[in-house]
């Protein structure tokens, strides 16, 4: 192992330990970084039109605030109402689910599905409903709990503002602190990682919004209960590459199947069509293959980081592994 490789590995280990020690304070920083990548394209476009950068940032923040206000006015009230209905009527919906499972007992006997397998399927499907109920009960309170932490509300836009205004100076300052032999490779790594996150975050925002809107509107037109919640679930699940769409489909099919098998079939067709659209058209155009990872690598990384980091590991596994791949290639070829 060369001297350069030893230096880089040591620096990565020290950086990893520091991040672990301050992990409790990283949430506002992570959110600020996401906001940076969301707003950066708009700030860059405005700056290219010779608008002062500070003015560009302020305009971008105003647009973001207007979008949030519109969402709060037109989306949050009906969504909160659906959360309340789901939480308050959970016993009834659980009873409906059980009745649905009992109604397919004859079908199970006809096709000779082993009782153990059928019980496992029933258990998994009921768990999905229970998770949705928990999400409904605690999701709103968790949101208000987060918003009540006024320090976060103040710190996040400040961090985002300075990242947008001084991003080039921040990178230059980090690189200048390093020994001369490490400056070029560090700048190259930062540029590659920045490209990964820039394309991934902005692409996922577009894809998640599109999927959530299509699923929510489609389910509403079909008359499925909790269309807004299911649309939100689909949007969030889209953050999990490859397996997210499958996760989002299951609760929608469950709720539709309780009402009518025909409705469940319509929902299945809807989700299949949306996923075909995402895989064949929207996904390649918006996100492309920016991570440069094999799908099997992504799935395995989701399982590993989900075990290590909990639910956050599902969402950030792909870009983390893409970053680790960049670092590995740089270490292998000093």
Looking at the whole model, is its pTM more than 0.85?
no
Does residue 302 contact residue 313 with C-beta atoms inside 8 Å? Answer: yes
Has residue 284 got a pLDDT over 70? no
Q: CA 63, CA 39: separation in Å to the nearest integer?
A: 10
With cut-offs at 50, 70 and 90, classify the pLDDT of residue 220: very high
DSSP label of 293: -
**Among 153-157, 167-171, 307-311, 320-324, which stretch is predicted with the lowest mean pLDDT?**
307-311
**Among 6-20, 172-186, 190-204, 290-304, which stretch is predicted with the lowest mean pLDDT?**
6-20
Q: CA 217, CA 212: separation in Å to the nearest integer?
A: 8
Q: In this predicted structure, what is the pLDDT of residue 289?
A: 60
- Mean predicted lDDT score pLDDT of the chain: 77
**In the chain, % of residues over pLDDT 90:** 12
pLDDT, tens digit, 9 for 90 and up, residues 105-160: 555 555 555 655 556 556 665 665 565 555 555 555 555 555 555 566 778 888 89
Q: Would you list the DSSP string of 142-162? A: HHHHHHT-HHHHHHHHHHHHH
Helix (H) or strand (E) holding 205, with range, is helix 180-222
């Amino acid at each position: 192992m060369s001297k350069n490789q030893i230096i880089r590995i040591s620096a990565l280990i020290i950086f990893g330990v520091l991040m672990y020690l301050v992990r409790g304070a990283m949430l506002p920083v992570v959110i600020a970084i996401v906001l940076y990548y969301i707003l950066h394209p708009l700030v860059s476009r405005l700056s290219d039109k010779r608008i002062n950068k500070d003015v560009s940032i302020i305009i971008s923040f105003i647009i973001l605030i207007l979008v949030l206000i519109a969402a709060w006015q037109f989306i949050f009230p009906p969504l909160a109402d659906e959360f309340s209905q789901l939480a308050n009527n959970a016993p009834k919906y659980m009873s409906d689910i059980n009745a649905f499972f009992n109604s397919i007992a004859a079908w199970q006997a006809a096709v000779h599905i082993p009782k153990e397998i059928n019980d496992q399927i029933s258990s998994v499907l009921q768990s999905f409903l229970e998770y949705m109920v928990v999400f409904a009960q605690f999701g709103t309170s968790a949101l208000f709990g987060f918003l009540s932490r006024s320090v976060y509300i103040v710190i996040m836009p400040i961090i985002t503002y300075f990242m947008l205004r001084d991003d080039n100076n921040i990178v230059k300052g980090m690189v200048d602190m390093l020994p001369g032999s490490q400056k070029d490779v560090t700048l190259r790594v930062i540029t590659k990682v920045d490209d990964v996150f820039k394309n991934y975050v902005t692409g996922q925002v577009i894809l998640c919004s599109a999927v959530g809107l299509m699923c929510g509107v489609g389910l509403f037109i079909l008359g499925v209960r909790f269309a807004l919640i299911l649309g939100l679930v689909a949007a969030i699940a889209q953050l999990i590459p490859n397996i997210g769409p499958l996760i989002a489909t299951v609760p929608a099919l469950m709720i539709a199947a309780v009402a009518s098998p025909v409705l469940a079939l319509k929902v299945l067709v809807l989700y299949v069509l949306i996923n075909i659209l995402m895989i064949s058209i929207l996904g390649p155009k918006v996100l492309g293959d920016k991570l440069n990872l094999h799908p099997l690598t992504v799935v395995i990384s989701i399982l590993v980081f989900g075990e290590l980091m909990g639910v956050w590991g599902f969402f950030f596994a792909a870009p983390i592994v893409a970053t680790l791949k960049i670092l590995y290639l740089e270490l292998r070829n000093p």
